[in-house]
A = this chain, B = another copy of it.
Amino acid sequence: MTDEHRAWAYLSRVTEPPSHEVAAYVADVGPVEAAARIKKRDVAPQIARLTEARHDIDCAAEDLEVLARLGGRLVTPEDPDFPQLALTSFNGAAVRDRPAGRPPMVLWVVGEESLADVAERACSIVGTRAATSYGEHQAADLAAGLAERDVAVVSGGAFGIDGVAHRATLGADGLTVAVLAGGVDVPYPSAHLAMLHRIGEQGLLVSEYPPGVRPARYRFLTRNRLVAALSGATVVVEAGLRSGAANTAGWAEALGRPVCAYPGPVTSSASAGCHALIRNGAFLVTRVEEVVEMVGAAGEIAPEPDRPSSPLDGLTDVELRAYEALPRRGARTIDQVAVAAGLPPTELLGPLATLELAGLVLRREGKWRLATR
C-alpha cells in the first residue's frame, strides 16, 4: 500500500464524484500533496468548499484493506489499465455541459481482467427493472451472442434486463462488467449478492465510489455515464418512457457512441421507451449480428437475413407478364397469351422459351400451359 494509493483513496471519498475542480487540482499538484493540503484546509476557497464536509474523514487505509480482501485494486489515471473514456474529448461541449460529464478520478475495481482491454470491445445491455419475459429472452439471447463473439457485456447489476444480461454472459463463459452506483463491497440490490460475487470472480466490478458508499438516485445517473463510456455501443432492450436506460442512452449519444434499441409490441409499456429512442434516432436492432456491427470492430457487417424466395425471382417484367398470362388450369395459344399480356406474340416467344427452359411453363401441341409445381 503506497502513499499514492492511500492519497487516491482519501481523495476518492473527500468529494462526491465526479468533481472536475478537485480532479484538476490533484492533476496539478499530485495526489499525495493534494490529499495532505486538503486535510489541512490549506487550499484555495473553491477546493476548500467542495471538500469541507468530508475533509476530516480519512479511512483510506481501511478502504484499501476492504478492497484487497475482495481481491480488488485501485485503478488511477497513472495506471495503464485506466480506461480511455473520452468523456471530454468527443462531442466535448455537450458532455462538459452536463454536471456529471467528467472522467472518474479513480476506479475501484474487483476482478482480474484489464479494464482498458475489456473496454476495447464491449457493449452495454441496459433496460428496465420491470422487464417482460420477452425482454428478458432478448437480453439473454443478445448477451450470449455477444459473449460468443468475444464482446464484453457491460451493465448496471440491477434487476430485470441488467441482471439477465450479466447472468447470460456468465452462463456463456463471456466477460461481463457491472458498473456500480455504490462501493464494490455494497451488493446492490442485495438479492444480486451471489451474481455480483461471481462477476467479481469471472468478470469485473467497477465503481468510482469508495467502499461502504450506498447507491443513491443521483449516483445511478452519474454511474450511467461510465456504463456508456466503457461500451462501444449501448443497447436498450426494454425501457419504459421514464427509465434509467434512457439516461444511459443519452450519455452514449453525447459520447458519440451508437445507441441501439429493440422494438417490441406497441401494446407493451416496457417497449415504449425503446420506441421513443428509435423515433429520436436510435438504431432499431433485432439480432446480435446487427449489434456487433455497431460495437466498432471493422469488417463485421451483419449479413442480410434470409428472405423467402420464389422460382419467379429474377424474371424480367415481360417474362412475368407472359407467365401470369397463362391460366391456372388449361392451355393457351400464343395469340391468347398475347391478348392477356397485352404484348405482341412476337415479343412473347423468347420469354416463353426462357420460362420453358426454367421449367416454369410447358409447350404442348402448340399451346402453352403452366408447369405443375
A293 to chain B, nearest CB (A): 11
A212 to chain B, nearest CB (A): 12
Number of copies of this chain that the complex holds: 2
Bound-state Cα–Cα, A286 to B261, Å: 15
Identify which of A51-59, A169-177, A223-231 touches chain B.
A51-59
A311 to chain B, nearest CB (A): 12
- Say yes or no for A40: interface residue by CB 8 A criterion: no
Interface residues of A in 86-109 (CB under 8 A from B): 99
Q: Is the CB of A217 within 8 A of B343?
A: no
A277 to chain B, nearest CB (A): 10
Q: Is the CB of A266 within 8 A of B286?
A: yes
Q: Is the CB of A99 within 8 A of B317?
A: yes
Q: Is the CB of A283 within 8 A of B287?
A: no
**Residues in chain B near residue A347, CB distance under 8 A:** 49
Q: Is the CB of B49 within 8 A of A344?
A: yes
Tell me whether A134 and B15 are in contact in the complex, defined as CB-CB below 8 angstroms, given that A278-B284, A317-B218 are known contacts.
no
- Say yes or no for A305: interface residue by CB 8 A criterion: yes
Complex interface bits, A326-352 against B, C-beta within 8 A gives 1, otherwise 0: 000000000100110111110100000
Q: Is the CB of B134 within 8 A of A265?
A: yes
Q: Is the CB of B305 within 8 A of A272?
A: yes
A165 to chain B, nearest CB (A): 16
Chain B, residue nearest A220 (CB):
B324
Chain B, residue nearest A348 (CB):
B53
Q: Is the CB of B272 within 8 A of A263?
A: no
Q: Is the CB of B54 within 8 A of A339?
A: yes
Chain B, residue nearest A13 (CB):
B342
- Checking B49, B138, B217, B338 against A266 with a beta-carbon cut-off of 8 angstroms, the contacting residue is B138
Q: Is the CB of A54 within 8 A of B218?
A: no
Tell me whether A265 and B266 are in contact in the complex, defined as CB-CB below 8 angstroms, given that A241-B307, A339-B57, A345-B53 are known contacts.
no
- Given A16-B321, A53-B344, A262-B266, 6 more A-B residue pairs with CB atoms under 8 Å apart are A16-B341, A134-B265, A264-B264, A264-B265, A266-B286, A275-B286
- A sample of 13 cross-chain residue pairs with beta-carbon separation below 8 angstroms, ordered by A number, consists of A16-B341, A16-B342, A49-B344, A53-B335, A53-B338, A53-B343, A134-B265, A216-B321, A218-B320, A241-B306, A242-B309, A264-B264, A278-B284
